[in-house]
Structure 1
Amino acid sequence: MNTQDLTLALDSIKLSDIRWETYEHLLKDISQQRRLRLTYYQGELEIMVPSPEHEFYKEVIGRFVETLAEELQVSIYPLGSTTFKQAKNTGAEPYKCFYIRNIERVRGKKRLNFVEDPPPDLVVEIDITSSSDTRLKIYAELGVPEVWIYNRESLLIKQLQNQAEYISTNQSLFFPNLPLNEITTFLTQAETMDYLTLVREFRQWIRRQLV
């Protein structure tokens, strides 16, 4: 089965005992066809085909992060779904990622080496058809400080503790003193409200919190 057939046949598949070289070959093979999303962890490979629903919420939450940064005057550096690989053992592609504290260490780089380069400061995951539990293990090993997960019911803000595991919290390290759990209200309206109207209302909500 080629990658085009795979895209049409499934939403998600998990494979065991996969060699690192196979994972890297697949990354190269689908480089021109980025609908497939690969997660590799200690020989386990997950292949996902993001649905329109995944892509929609990815864009909405990414826009919300950008709007928060604008209103709070926080510098961000977006790197989208960049593939993060480490030690021939793990590899993941977040739905969205942003550098905030470490912008100058990665700005303008064409390739990142996570032996030397820092991980993104903020990662966004969409848990609609599958869980991000394995990717959380990878992000913890990389040292990603904060992960936002939307599961259709709520937006979870998770922060890394002791470089080992994530705990849930109501506030962001990068956009402090805002009740970000309230973003869920906007996300539940996202599919029925005009996109730009939603963004405007979200911006107004931020400004009310700042007052």
Structure 2
Amino acid sequence: MPQLAEPPPRPAPPARRTVLRGVTWAEYVALRAKPENEHVKLTYDGPAGGLLEIEMPNGPLHENVSWWLANLILAFTEERRIPVRGVGSLTQSREDLQRGLESDLCYYVSSLPKLEGRDAVDLEAGDPPPDLCVEVDVTSPGVRKLPIYAALGVPEVWVWANDTLTVHRRGDDGAYAVSGKSGELPGFPIATAAALIARRAEAEHFALLAEWRTAVRPDENQ
């Protein structure tokens, strides 16, 4: 019998993250401004040797976890009546620091009054950075982001990795330390949130969100 030809090898999927070295600030800004890069995350650290991480649009796992975290934060702030403004994946960049990035989620909480009456946020013009940024890391890490957040002055960063949600609080020395609780959203049950997200395939999302709201709703008798 004739031998069947081996099928041609499948092309390797494009890398989700590419890290370049020796990139200048002007090159980073030019790439950020290209319309075709609108949905591409760029992380730039000039002092670290001009490192630029190019992160392609995220896969379904990343988007699913991001959706859950956004909804848990929304429900918590509604139940606790905490004024907050979500600014999505706002580009946070400052030429004087030679650093820039986009978070998966970011929020203004304690510094929200400084933005009163304005929708646009411009760090280059002196606006404060977001008070809370969220990174959903479901792939291998690229450029280290916490030093960039520290330089920008972000008070708190949440990192989701390995089905765990970790809070990093920026201290007076400018460095982050892992904390068991949130300073920007006091009372937010970090471990409970992670456990609920881990159960996201077990029940309808509205049932889990109802359970979450019941868990975080203030006791009216207290």
TMscore range, shorter length: 0.7 to 0.9
Change (3 A) 1:130 1:35: farther
Q: Who is 1:99 aligned against?
A: 108
Could you tell me which of 151, 174, 186 is aligned with 2:161? 151
Q: Who is 1:5 aligned against?
A: none
Alignment check: 8 A CA contact 2:79 2:218 kept: no
Correspondence 1:123-142 to 2 at 5 A: 123-131=133-141, 134-142=144-152
Match of 2:93, SS state, is: strand
How far apart, CA to CA, are the structure 2 residues paired with 1:162 and 1:133? 24
One-letter identity of the residue aligned with 2:134? V
Displacement after TM superposition at 1:12 (Å):
0.7
Displacement after TM superposition at 1:147 (Å):
0.8
Q: Who is 1:18 aligned against?
A: 23
Alignment check: 8 A CA contact 1:141 1:163 kept: no
Could you tell me which of 161, 164, 169 is aligned with 2:179? 169
Correspondence 1:1-211 to 2 at 5 A: 9-29=14-34, 31=35, 33-42=37-46, 43-49=50-56, 50-87=58-95, 89-107=98-116, 108-114=118-124, 116-131=126-141, 134-207=144-217
Match of 2:182, SS state, is: coil
How far apart, CA to CA, are the structure 2 residues paired with 1:84 and 1:146? 14
Match of 1:39, SS state, is: strand
Displacement after TM superposition at 1:83 (Å):
0.3
TM-score (norm 1): 0.87
Q: Which runs of 5+ in 1 are unaligned?
A: 1-7
Once the two structures are overlaid, the 10-residue window that deviates more, 36-45 or 79-88, is 79-88
Change (3 A) 1:132 1:176: farther
Larger proportion of helix: 1
One-letter identity of the residue aligned with 1:40? Y
TM-score (norm 2): 0.83
Alignment check: 8 A CA contact 1:178 1:209 kept: no
Change (3 A) 1:129 1:104: same
Match of 2:123, SS state, is: coil
Taking only aligned residues, the RMSD between alpha carbons, in angstroms, comes to 2.2
**How many residues end up aligned between the 2 structures?**
203
Post-superposition Cα deviations, 1:75-121, rounded to whole Å, max 9, x if no partner, equal 00110001000125101000000001111322424340345111101
Displacement after TM superposition at 1:135 (Å):
1.6
How far apart, CA to CA, are the structure 2 residues paired with 1:203 and 1:149? 22
Change (3 A) 1:134 1:106: farther
Q: Which runs of 5+ in 2 are unaligned?
A: 1-12
How far apart, CA to CA, are the structure 1 residues paired with 2:188 and 2:132? 16
